[in-house]
């Protein structure tokens, strides 16, 4: 399968950067402490760089953003290296499954099930208040 390496690398870098920024934002907004672990590791990783190269000072926000983008680019470099070392026959592509469905159907089913389970968990934990939905 022919890949346009520049487009593939840019796509991988964008997706990895969005994932890293998403993990950071998840930790910023989440009150559930296990969800804050990736956020903590991102901040501590940047603090290690500050200890080595000196304080970011007034440029902290700019340099931290560059750090997150750098982690995304690093993820794309690793993905490109793995893709280069993997033979074409071992790469996953969009194929029809045993039932004749594309890979999109299981992803949609899993996502919908996950959202329903998250809603049920929120309801059981008392986070979601459904009393206002009852009719008289």
Tens-place pLDDT, residues 62-116: 999 999 999 999 998 988 888 788 776 666 665 555 555 566 767 778 888 888 8
Residues 74 and 111 in one domain: no
Residues 112 and 54 in one domain: no
Residues 89 and 105 in one domain: no
Count of residues in the chain: 136
Domain that holds residue 74: 1-93
Residues 49 and 110 in one domain: no
pLDDT in tens, 105-136: 677 788 888 888 888 877 777 776 666 666 65
Residues 27 and 65 in one domain: yes
Q: Which of 58, 17, 63 is nearest to 43 (CA)?
A: 63
Residues 61 and 128 in one domain: no
Q: pTM for this structure?
A: 0.61
Residues 88 and 101 in one domain: no
Residues 53 and 69 in one domain: yes
Number of domains in the chain: 2
Are residues 103 and 95 in contact, defined by beta-carbon separation less than 8 angstroms?
Answer: yes
Residues 10 and 73 in one domain: yes
Residues 28 and 78 in one domain: yes
* Tokens encoding 33: 């402490």
Neighbours of 27 (CB within 10 A): 18
What interhelical angle do 60-85 and 37-53 show, nearest 10? 110
What interhelical angle do 5-29 and 37-53 show, nearest 10? 110
What 3 state SS string does 62-73 have?
A: HHHHHHHHHHHH
């Amino acid at each position: 399968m022919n890949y346009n390496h520049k487009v593939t690398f840019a796509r991988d870098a964008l997706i990895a950067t969005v994932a890293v920024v998403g993990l950071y934002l998840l930790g910023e907004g989440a009150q559930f402490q296990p969800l804050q672990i990736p956020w903590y590791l991102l901040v501590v990783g940047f603090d290690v760089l500050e200890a080595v190269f000196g304080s970011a000072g007034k440029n902290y926000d700019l340099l931290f953003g560059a750090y997150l983008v750098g982690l995304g680019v690093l993820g794309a470099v690793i993905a490109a290296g793995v893709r280069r070392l993997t033979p074409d026959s071992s790469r996953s592509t969009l194929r029809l499954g045993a039932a004749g469905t594309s890979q999109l159907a299981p992803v949609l089913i899993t996502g919908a099930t996950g959202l329903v389970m998250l809603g049920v968990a929120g309801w059981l934990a008392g986070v979601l208040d459904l009393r206002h939905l009852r009719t008289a």
